[in-house]
Structure 1
Amino acid sequence: MNTKPFLDYILRYVDLTPEEINLLLDNISHRSYLKGQYIVQQGDICRFESFVVNGCVKTFYVDDDGQEHVVLFAIENWWAADLGSFLSQEPADYNVQCIENTEVIQFSFEQLEMLYQNIPKLERFFRIIIQNAFVASQRRVIKNFSLPAKERYIEFKSRYPQIEQRVPQYLIASYLGVTKEFLSKIKSQLLQDQ
């Protein structure tokens, strides 16, 4: 299991001793998922916080009409879970599904609680990660309310160019809150503007 990207990511935020690193590595698991497999399904309890080592996943909600609403994507060095379900250990509101074959490093809720007790710096690390995710989520809400679809797409494309190359257009349309036909019109318009 290649843990280097995972450790490098954590060490960007907190310093760990060799003993703490060993304890951390003893309490994670490595899992491979195939394209289309679910890491979490809506209604199930999210048992793991997952760090994407390689691959791509989408987090989405399915409404009562069966319509899929993508709320985020995660690629290498990003986290994927239904955080509300993971923290509360209650049924998930979201699905987390692999768009590509994906490898993750996972913590269970119990493992993470134990690590917090034994490596208090990890609580600081996860607080920073959750704060960053919350701020990004708030910014996305504001943009969805205030920007026209064309500007939302331009913002997405410039902010996440690596995702746009890897994710089908209908999923990007869902993320932006538009139909795939409307996204196609936006893209055609942008090509004409060049």
Structure 2
Amino acid sequence: MEYFHQLIIDNVSRFIDLTEIEKQKYISLLTKVSIKRKAFLMQAGDIAKYEYFITKGCLKVYTLDENGAPHISMFAVEDYWTGDMASFITKEPSSYFIKATEDSELLGISRTNYELLFQEIPKFERFYRILYQRSLISYIRRSNQSISLTAEERYIKFKKKYPHIVNRITQKDLAAYIGITPEFMSKIVTKVNRM
């Protein structure tokens, strides 16, 4: 089994047990995608045709406000899933952009293969339910933090929770994630690093 296939099998195996035949069937339903740094995986207005698992690289998921300023909702690195679940399921246009911040390698599952997977290996419904539940919990926690914590506290939490990401993204992107200006982000980083 290829290294990148083993990564996704290890991810899935945290939640469901698969036979060797089921592993091979799942792998056969995936599409390998390579994306260069600064390229878009998806843009607002597109209908999400895939859900993606990152085997290498880093991507950012964001929206643009009426002034064109980005608001980053997540960074996705190795062993993370990304996409627009709502657009994927409803077939409605996405409001998100997904852009590579590093050269990246992904495995995608199309809507057709996603449905086929549930028919042929029903236990995958449990896996994706758990994946979506965890995503919802993460979204709720992040929403609560954005209204209850200061920008400095949000940065400290991000740095503690995602030490493997913080040095892979620009300070400007981090500011767009925290919800502040790059200038204010610079002051916070300087202050926290002196602590």
Q: What is the TM-score normalised by the length of structure 2?
A: 0.96
Q: How far off its partner does 1:22 sit? A: 1.6
Alignment of 1:56-95 (within 5 A): 56-95=58-97
1:20 aligns with 2:4: no
Other-structure match for 1:181: 183
Other-structure match for 1:48: 50
Give every structure 1 segment of 4 or more consecutive aligned residues whose post-TM-superposition deviation is greater than 4 Å. none
Distance (whole Å) between structure 2 residues aligned to residue 191 and residue 106 of structure 1: 38
Q: How far off its partner does 1:191 sit? A: 3.3
Unpaired runs of 5+ residues, structure 1, are none
8 Å contact kept, 1:59–1:97: yes
The one-character-per-residue Cα deviations of 1:91-147 (angstroms, maximum 9, x if unpaired) are: 111011100000000000110011011111111000001101100110011110000
Q: How far off its partner does 1:50 sit? A: 0.5
Aligned CA-pair RMSD: 0.9
Other-structure match for 1:117: 119
Other-structure match for 1:160: 162
Other-structure match for 1:136: 138
Residue number among 8, 12, 15 corresponding to 1:6 in the alignment: 8
Distance (whole Å) between structure 1 residues aligned to residue 109 and residue 62 of structure 2: 21
Q: How far off its partner does 1:64 sit? A: 2.2
Partner amino acid for 2:114?
Answer: L
Other-structure match for 2:151: 149
SS at match of 2:125: helix
Distance (whole Å) between structure 2 residues aligned to residue 165 and residue 78 of structure 1: 17
Distance (whole Å) between structure 2 residues aligned to residue 133 and residue 186 of structure 1: 28
Change (3 A) 1:22 1:191: closer
Q: How far off its partner does 1:190 sit? A: 2.0
Change (3 A) 1:9 1:191: closer
The one-character-per-residue Cα deviations of 1:7-38 (angstroms, maximum 9, x if unpaired) are: 11111110111221121111111111000111
Q: What is the TM-score normalised by the length of structure 1?
A: 0.97
Q: How far off its partner does 1:62 sit? A: 1.2
8 Å contact kept, 1:82–1:95: no
Percent identical residues? 36
Partner amino acid for 2:173?
Answer: L
Distance (whole Å) between structure 1 residues aligned to residue 58 and residue 13 of structure 2: 23
Distance (whole Å) between structure 1 residues aligned to residue 193 and residue 19 of structure 2: 52
SS at match of 1:103: strand
Distance (whole Å) between structure 1 residues aligned to residue 42 and residue 150 of structure 2: 32
8 Å contact kept, 1:59–1:70: yes
Distance (whole Å) between structure 1 residues aligned to residue 20 and residue 33 of structure 2: 24
Equivalent residue pairs, number = 193
SS at match of 1:3: helix
8 Å contact kept, 1:56–1:99: yes
